Amino acid sequence: MVIISSKGQLDTIFVLVSLLIIAITSVIAVLIFSNFHTQFVTKEGLSSPTARTNFDLVYNRSSSIIDSIFLVFLIGSWIAVFITSALLDVHPAFFILGLIFNIIILFAVPFLANMFLDFSGSSGLSSATASLPIISYVFNHLLAIAIVWVFSIMIALYAKFQGNNQLGGGYA
């Protein structure tokens, strides 16, 4: 029963770690693509002006596309976790246990944010991180985002009307 009551918390941990992995991968991808662009277009040169224009267009839009995909994943995963938490039938007695798990999660969130900020702040990666403003913003404000996330999941898990319009599902 404890695993069922901590469903929202386990999903939150999984999503936060996934966000960290996606953010680090995005920074590395932008850095690789930037280095490729510099090597291939600037130094080697493209013979066709149309090819150069198209490659520059893709290069200029790539970081904003990666940034937008990250934001879509963040919002989509929050919606998915919120809906699955709302569909779970959890006894209100597990509220305290869920609250303890969420406090532990909130204590771990700054460490995840610092891992990304330390990684992205290194000298070689700072230019790639600068081209990803949404990812940088999310990890600079990850604790506030996690607080909203956790409390919305707690509301979805425990504050629902079920049977005879009783709050909490009518458990006796």
The pLDDT value recorded for residue 136 is: 92
The pLDDT value recorded for residue 36 is: 83
Say if CB 117 and CB 140 are below 8 A apart: yes
pLDDT in tens, the chain (172 residues): 334 445 556 777 888 899 999 999 999 999 988 888 777 776 666 667 777 788 788 888 888 999 999 999 999 999 988 888 888 877 778 888 888 888 998 999 999 999 999 998 887 888 888 889 999 999 999 999 999 998 888 888 887 765 555 555 555 4
The pLDDT value recorded for residue 4 is: 42
Instruction: Note if the pTM is more than 0.95.
Output: no
Instruction: Give 103's contacts (C-beta < 8 A, 6+ positions apart).
Output: none
The pLDDT value recorded for residue 167 is: 53
The structural domains of the chain, with segments of one domain joined by +, span 2-167
Say if CB 106 and CB 149 are below 8 A apart: no
Q: What DSSP element (H or E) covers 162?
A: strand 161-162
**From residue 6, how far is each of 9, 12, 24, 151, 169 by CA, in Å?**
5, 10, 27, 13, 18
Say if CB 44 and CB 134 are below 8 A apart: no
